[in-house]
Structure 1
């Protein structure tokens, strides 16, 4: 079982990083001469003090959320009984904390690799470390101690699929270091994961609960099987809408980036394509007359 804030906080982190990754991948692609594009697991913000801002956001955000899960949510009641057994009522918080620890480690390792000479990892190695963090998240949601059933389980199943896409695209970044499609897919997958956290929060713990289903105590219950199926259909539509939204965002980014940063060969190709379209339209008008 989760909560509204418990989904919005990590969703904000993934969404910010994913949107920045999409824009950076597109901007680097249109600016890079043919054959010189390189996949990046993280993207610098300029060359000044804010260059490593993305990594600071990942490390600080994961650490802050981890503190919420392990310190605030548990009220420091880690163990119960004289034998010091791990508190079973907070296993959900411990698991979330472990997942966030992996993202914190990735952020710290990437910062040390970029700013010091103690951990000189290549971009491909950092891709695999990031993939390990996503793998920890995947295993958490797939083998969760909290049994997600019914409509809640369906929303978490779709989340697991998106996390799997993050793993695949991040590993592919290490294997195909020159692929723009791989880099862009990684940003899209991270953005969709963040948006789906938001969608889950507003649907299961907010005002968008499907008709016939409701939050009862710590469980999402539906009045009938038909109500649950209807809720799952709505979830499919919601996911499609988010995919459509992200695709529109990518096209907008490409249009803006190409006009601002596009290299001369790209701009010449675009101009030639427009002239060819105009010529074809002119020829069709002559044939019509």
Structure 2
């Protein structure tokens, strides 16, 4: 079982990174489609380059802060009981392992960009990012906290979205010049962030379906209401996917009108 804050915090981080990835991918493509390359992270322009690595700092420090909350605050430093890991906080330890992977992703990318000790191409960073998403996938798939009923359904959808993040990130290493792959990666990360928020509002907030309630740290629903809750979850997922796709199309049209060059227009005229 989780909490509203426990889902909203990672949801915020994934949503911020995903939206920025979509916008940056679109702008880079319409600006120069012939030299487009897949990127794991995207520099922030302006301010004399002072904010260039902002995305990496958000990933590294965001994961580190969440890691400290899970490993230090949630466990109250009671790591061991009778010589073994505290069974009451196994889910916190699992979350910490996942967050450690995303912290390492941000830290390694920063070292690659700002030092000469590690110099990695974007393809290698794609593999590291895929490893971080794989750790997240394994966490939610083999979670020590047994998710059943409506809660389990929401986490099943989350696992599927994380799997999509893995596939699109791996595809970025295999097809380093593919705009659709890079764009789909941003869409998958954005949907994951939105679904974290949807889970928080539904299971721990004001959107709990009728006939379901939070009791004894678990979601309890009447049989008919549980099926209805799952159908509502399907509609919510469809709405989020549709909303993101509409936003992507709108972003592309806006970016093309403002940043598009002659190469983009010539490609569009050939396709037409």
Name the TM-score, length of structure 1 as normaliser: 0.91
Q: Secondary structure at the match of 1:6?
A: helix
- Alignment partners' CA distance in 2, 1:103 and 1:212: 37
- Alignment partners' CA distance in 1, 2:268 and 2:181: 23
Equivalent residue, structure 1, for 2:13: 13
Q: Secondary structure at the match of 2:109?
A: helix
Residue 112 of structure 1: CA displacement? Answer: 0.3
1:238 to 219, 236, 239: 236
Q: Secondary structure at the match of 2:214?
A: strand
Equivalent residue, structure 1, for 2:64: 63
User: Any residues of structure 2 matched to 1:182-193 within 5 Å, and which?
Assistant: 182-193=181-192
Equivalent residue, structure 1, for 2:245: 247
CA contact (8 A) 2:32 2:263 kept: no
Equivalent residue, structure 1, for 2:129: 130
For the pair 1:152 / 2:151, whether they are aligned, the reply is yes
Deviations 1:86-114 (A, max 9, x none): 10000011100110000000000000011
Residue 268 of structure 1: CA displacement? Answer: 5.6
Structure 1 unaligned blocks of 5 or more: 275-289
CA contact (8 A) 2:29 2:36 kept: yes
- Alignment partners' CA distance in 1, 2:86 and 2:74: 12
- Alignment partners' CA distance in 2, 1:33 and 1:241: 30
Equivalent residue, structure 2, for 1:119: 118
Equivalent residue, structure 2, for 1:101: 100
Structure label with greater radius of gyration: 1
Residue 46 of structure 1: CA displacement? Answer: 1.6
Residue 271 of structure 1: CA displacement? Answer: 8.0
User: Any residues of structure 2 matched to 1:200-279 within 5 Å, and which?
Assistant: 200-223=199-222, 225-267=223-265
- Alignment partners' CA distance in 2, 1:6 and 1:256: 35
- Alignment partners' CA distance in 1, 2:179 and 2:15: 20
- Alignment partners' CA distance in 2, 1:183 and 1:109: 20
- Alignment partners' CA distance in 2, 1:266 and 1:179: 15
Name the TM-score, length of structure 2 as normaliser: 0.96
Q: Secondary structure at the match of 1:221?
A: strand
Residue 33 of structure 1: CA displacement? Answer: 4.0
Q: What number of residue pairs does the alignment pair up?
A: 270
Q: Secondary structure at the match of 1:239?
A: helix
Residue 188 of structure 1: CA displacement? Answer: 0.1
Q: Secondary structure at the match of 1:210?
A: coil
- Superposed CA RMSD in Å reads 1.5
Residue 145 of structure 1: CA displacement? Answer: 0.1
Residue 80 of structure 1: CA displacement? Answer: 1.2
